[in-house]
Structure 1
Amino acid sequence: MTATTAEAHGGVEAAPGNPVIAWNIHAQSAIHDTAKQSPTTSTRSFAIVQGAVYDAVNAVAGRPYEPLVSAPR
């Protein structure tokens, strides 16, 4: 038996053409439903996912980002 994304997440579905929201839905499913991670561990996992989303969007958009501060020498 399979369910659509909306059915599996209580009616929440990603907006068409918005892969960032789709990634968040899949991350929530993997982190909470499948892995059943604790709140502390899941916070770290979501941070890693959001970092990956940020890097992916910047890579696709072709706009590199520059750090706001320089590293100490």
Structure 2
Amino acid sequence: MKRKEFVSLALTMLVLLLSMLTGYVLLSFVYVGSPFLVGLVGLGVLVVSVFLVVYLVKLRKLIDEVDEDENKTQG
């Protein structure tokens, strides 16, 4: 994966995170039912958000390692 592809993936995940958070905020404003259910959905959004951020950080480290290895073999 090249840096351009990583940036594209990171922007796509950022849009996904923002849309999930916006949806959750709108749900919490509109939903009149159980606050436990709203909290449970919020917890789900938080778990998915943390997973995506950790995935991006690990992917970034992997890309940097591959770039360093390519530079060592070329140099």
Q: Same fold (TM over 0.5)?
A: no
Q: Larger relative CO (CA 8 A, sep 6+): 1 or 2?
A: 2
So what's the TM-score if we normalise by structure 1? 0.45
After TM superposition, the score normalised by the length of structure 2 is 0.44
Higher helix share: 2
